[in-house]
Amino acid sequence: MEAPIRATEFLRFTLLSLLFFVCRSSPSHDLLISNAERRIDLTSHIVKVYLTLKVENAGSTPTSEILLAFPPTQVDHLATVEALVTKGKRKKTTLARLDVKPTELPDAPNGTKYFTIYLANPLNSGESTTLEVLYLFTHSLEPFPAEIGQSESQLVYYRDSALILSPYHIKQQTTFLKTPSTKVESFTSMEPTNRAGTEMKYGPYEDRPPYSFSPILIHFENNSPFPVVEELVREVEISHWGNLQVTEHYTLVHGGARHKGVFSRVDYQSRPNLNGVSSLRYLLARLPPRVHSVYYRDEIGNISSSHLRTDSRKSELEIEPRYPLFGGWKATFVIGYGLPLQDFLFESSDDRRYLNFTFGCPLLDTVVDKLTVKVVLPEGSKDPSAVVPFTVEQHLETKYSYLDVVGRTVVVMEKKNLVPVHNSPFQVYYTFKPIFMLAEPLMLASAFFLFFVASVAYLHIDLSIRK
């Protein structure tokens, strides 16, 4: 049902975009791209696109903004965009990261979405520079057939354009696609198109005007499981007694082709290479070093199939869900672990404390649709503020844990559509007086003291009425 609709939508989109490039004369900029090379990696379920652009300023005024264009269907699945610029000549090249921000243009043709790359140094007229752009798409491989049996392999569609969508004139462009195996059912041909082994080459195409678009559809085998965490809630609780407790609640789903019909354990156990190849058998979580008290459980109890390997630089937790996940099957679980506080909590120069921890999901090669990070500050902390390298939604909550009177401040950060690239450190700053650490032990001590006083009093006081 879904496929035909998508196809018509696509057709319409193509026609419209063709119309656009006919009716629009030239972009507002005088930039042009002398050479573009695009490498699309389709081996996992996260589509990685490496774009190398050689940008030339053909106009008269210097400019420092370069636009990247995306069709609206892709921009929904776009997880991240990064741009790097090569500096230096020949062998001594270094890469410098550039700012990339989403931009709205008033006259965007056909809902095209833009990202602006801000160059560190303006590009003078006649100069050229080379940009490396990396962007990742999630949920962009559409399983077809949408439902497969246990012994079938998983085939997916990938849709894109053979020509790079750009507001600039592109003199020469080539697109390479890498598929996980040599098994490609079909692909759209647009001369010159070559296929060799697991790689496909579209182009080179010469002198394409702005907003050129030529849809392609590739149908190929991708038997890697598609682990998608629909929702992940990470709770990081700081205890100034020396422990950082992390609790992660996962809702995991296999995002590949849905499982249809029988699940046969005999076949699955006896012929694992032919049966359920795309099933998700285990996951690997990369945890910080010196992790302790790791647990892996769900609503109904501990899950015994997990292994922890630790060394001085990292810890790896290999977890198996209770059952192998076939396409469309779900599993929810919780991972928790403790970490030594001194590895993550520091004092800043202005006498505040800050937690330096990793945003994102520790599971490897996983897409997270929605991530909530909660940092539970110790009771009595004030003025929390979070510094995150990308935009997140933030708010504060209060949580009551053991022996809390006023409750703990919780900094909540939410972000959608995450990929492993987002596993970068973030900081939460707050002020805390160490005297608050003593509140809870003192409360307990006084409770015990009162209990003993009451016992002593009881033994010494005679309450009987007679006598």
Partner 1 sequence: MAAVANMPVSDLLKSFKLKTKQQELLIRVSILCLVYILAFITRLFSVLRYESMIHEFDPYFNYRTTLYLTQNGFYDFWNWFDYESWYPLGRIVGGTLYPGLMVTAALIYRILHFLRFAVHIREVCVLTAPFFASNTTLVAYFFGKEIWDTGAGLVAAILIAVCPGYISRSVAGSYDNEGVAIFALLFTFYLFVKAVNTGSLAWSLASAFGYFYMVSAWGGYVFIINLIPLYVLVLLITGRYSMRLYVAYNCMYVLGMLLAMQIRFVGFQHVQSGEHMAAMGVFFLMQVFYFLDWVKHMLSDTKLFQAFLRITVTCAVAVGTIALGLGMLSGYISPWTGRFYSLLDPTYAKDHIPIIASVSEHQPTAWSSFMFDFHILLFLFPAGLYFCFKRLSDATIFIVMYGLTSMYFAGVMVRLILVATPAVCLISAIAVSATVKNLTVLLRSKNKGVQTGSTKGSSSSKASSKALLDQSQPFQKNGAIALLFGAFYLLSKYATHCTWVTSEAYSSPSIVLAARGAHGSRVIFDDYREAYFWLRQNTPPDAKVMSWWDYGYQITAMGNRTVIVDNNTWNNTHIATVGRAMSSYEDEAIEIMRSLDVDYVLVVFGGVTGYSSDDINKFLWMVRIGGGVFPVIKEPDYLVNGEYRVDKGAAPKMLNCLMYKLCYYRFGEMLTEYGKPPGYDRARGVEIGNKDIKLEHLEEAFTTSNWIVRIYKVKPPNNRW
- In the complex, the residues that contact partner 1 under the rule CB under 8 A are 261-266, 270, 298-305, 322-323, 328-332, 400-405, 459
What is the spatial distance between Cα 13 and Cα 111, in angstroms, rounded to a whole number? 10
CB atoms within 10 A of CB 406: 11
Q: Which is nearer to partner 1, 387 or 403 (CB)?
A: 403
In whole angstroms, the minimum distance from the beta carbon of 2 to partner 1 comes to: 20
Task: Give the pairing type, strands 367-376 and 227-239.
Answer: parallel
Q: Which is nearer to partner 1, 1 or 262 (CB)?
A: 262
In whole angstroms, the minimum distance from the beta carbon of 460 to partner 1 comes to: 11
Q: Which is nearer to partner 1, 132 or 298 (CB)?
A: 298
Three-state SS letters, 365-405:
CCEEEEEEEEEECCCCCEEEEEECCCCCEEEEEEECCCCCC
Q: Which is nearer to partner 1, 101 or 322 (CB)?
A: 322
H or E element, residue 451:
helix 439-460
What is the spatial distance between Cα 235 and Cα 411, in angstroms, rounded to a whole number? 10
In whole angstroms, the minimum distance from the beta carbon of 263 to partner 1 comes to: 5
In whole angstroms, the minimum distance from the beta carbon of 309 to partner 1 comes to: 19
Q: Which is nearer to partner 1, 95 or 447 (CB)?
A: 447
Q: Which is nearer to partner 1, 320 or 343 (CB)?
A: 320
Q: Which is nearer to partner 1, 14 or 245 (CB)?
A: 245
In whole angstroms, the minimum distance from the beta carbon of 290 to partner 1 comes to: 25
In whole angstroms, the minimum distance from the beta carbon of 353 to partner 1 comes to: 24
DSSP letter, residue 322: S
Give the DSSP per-residue string, 218-257: EEEE--S--EEEEEEEEEEEEETTTEEEEEEEEEEEE-SS
Residues whose CB is less than 8 angstroms from the CB of residue 187 and which lie 6 or more positions away in sequence, other chains included: 193, 195, 200, 216, 217, 218, 219, 220
In whole angstroms, the minimum distance from the beta carbon of 437 to partner 1 comes to: 16
CB atoms within 10 A of CB 368: 25
